[in-house]
Amino acid sequence: MLECRRIYELAHRLPDRVLPQIHGPCEKPLVIFLLRLLLARHLVHPFEGLTLADWRQLLRRERYRIDPVYWPRALWISAQGFWNSYAERTVEQRFGAAIDAARVEAPVFVLGHYRSGTTFLHELLRTDPRFASPNRFQTFNPRTFLGTEPWLAPVVEPFMLPRRVQEDEVAYAVLTQLSPYMDWIFPRSQHGYERYLTFHDADPAEVAQWSAALVRFMKALTVKHQRPLILKSPPHTARVRLLLRLFPDARFVHIRRDPYAVFVSTIGLLKSLYPVFGLQRGPRKIDEDAVLRTYKTMYDAYFDDIHLVPPGQLIEIAYEDLEHDPLGQLRTIYDGIALGDFDEVRPALDEYIASIAGYRKNRHRPLADATREKVAEACARSFDAWGYPR
């Protein structure tokens, strides 16, 4: 029987970001998977948690330029907006005081560029029951999940592409619309969403708004799970300074990978993201220079700021080492940033690693010499710091 992942890939070239982290035999009929694909491409959208007021403001900013093919998504978001506006008030009345009083305990941030192995690492770390991470419902509905998840998630999640854990960046896009992911949703926008990667050029009011949303979301997750949080979003790699300001005791795990492999895989990712996240049609050809600018911006910020991290709160590993020896690298992480007794989580890790045996990575064509030169120049600091051959 085909693996679930291969069924998704054969049905349509969806990216890892929206593929389920399932690598064993399919447990559901193929028609269910195809239905989920259809919904993901034509109706479901990360903005399902947007309030009506935020949706209206966003539409005005983007001058209502939504392509006809995405009108069903826009109608879905509008309908959800009415519900979210009501549900937000109800949840605030019920849980507002608990959220305000919650204390976020030393969060762990998984850092790394897109396609560097952050998802694999996050999945391994999340195996530890002593920690918690947000799921799809929570990140898509960051304002209301405390009140709606117990009864609404069992109804809607069977129709969604399943993810065991989810990037928290989606929640901040919903809460503030201050995220570089907005460029995937409105690829023809002139708003300049790329400045929200580092927030270096953002208005102080935008920094304050985003920071408050992040803290609020993490407090709500703490109320829900009552455990320390492990969060993974590639943009956080460029925000070490800001995250430390909000959480001085935060711990960081950075995973690096050969920049050539990261570049090629990121191009493939972006080709698949636009039809899944978009409310506008994306470019037919991915702008390779823009991808490299993002990489350079991200790692210039990272290399400039990592000296601010106190000793014992940051550890770096290589994707190649994690792939070859996941248990050994996890033990190194646990010892390096004091995550607790590694032996307690070892059985769960063994089970998870066994469940993904036989996983096959995507294969990519070799880069042309001219492209390799551009990658080598844009990623020079990474090549120099990590020792990958140019």
- As a whole number of angstroms, the distance between CA 316 and CA 352 comes to 22
CA distance 206 to 215: 14
Give the tokens for residue 204. Answer: 């102080």
DSSP 132: B
| Sequence letter at residue 119 | T
Q: In what helix (H) or strand (E) does residue 315 lie, and over which residues does it extend?
A: strand 314-318
- The CATH number covering residue 268 comes to 3.40.50.300
The CA-based dihedral angle spanning residues 81, 220, 216, 305, taken in that order and rounded to the nearest 10 degrees? -120
Q: What's the CA gap between 101 and 133, in Å, rounded?
A: 20
pLDDT for residue 356: 86
The arithmetic mean of pLDDT across residues 138-162, rounded, is: 91
* C-alpha–C-alpha distance, residues 300 and 310, integer Å: 19
Q: What's the pLDDT band for 361 if we cut at 50, 70, 90?
A: low
Residue 301 lies in a domain: yes
Res. 7 pLDDT band, cuts 50 70 90: very low
**What angle, 0 to 180 degrees and rounded to 10, lies between the N-to-C axes of helices 326-337 and 342-355?**
150
Q: Is residue 159 part of a domain?
A: yes
- 92, part of any domain: no
- Residue 24 domain flag: no
Enter the pTM of the model.
Answer: 0.91
Q: Name the pLDDT band for 9 (thresholds 50, 70, 90).
A: very low
Of 41, 43, 48, nearest to 71 by C-alpha is: 43
The pLDDT score that the predictor gives to residue 360 is 63
Q: How confident is the model at residue 357 (pLDDT cuts 50, 70, 90)?
A: confident
* 94 occurs within a structural domain: no
Whether 85 is in a domain gets the answer no
How far is it, in rounded angstroms, from Cα 229 to Cα 213? Answer: 16
Nearest to 163 by CA among 138, 129, 130: 138
Over residues 311-324, the pLDDT tens digits come to: 999 999 999 999 99
Give the structural domain span for 337.
105-386
What is the number of structural domains in the chain? 1
Asked if residue 224 is part of any domain, the answer here is yes
Q: Answer yes or no: are the C-beta atoms of 126 and 164 closer than 8 Å.
A: yes
Cα distances from 95 to residues 91, 146, 147, 238, 248, in angstroms, run 6, 8, 8, 32, 26
In a domain, 345, yes or no: yes
Read off the pLDDT of each residue in 126-152 and give the average, rounded to a whole number: 96
Mean pLDDT for the stretch of residues 275-295: 91
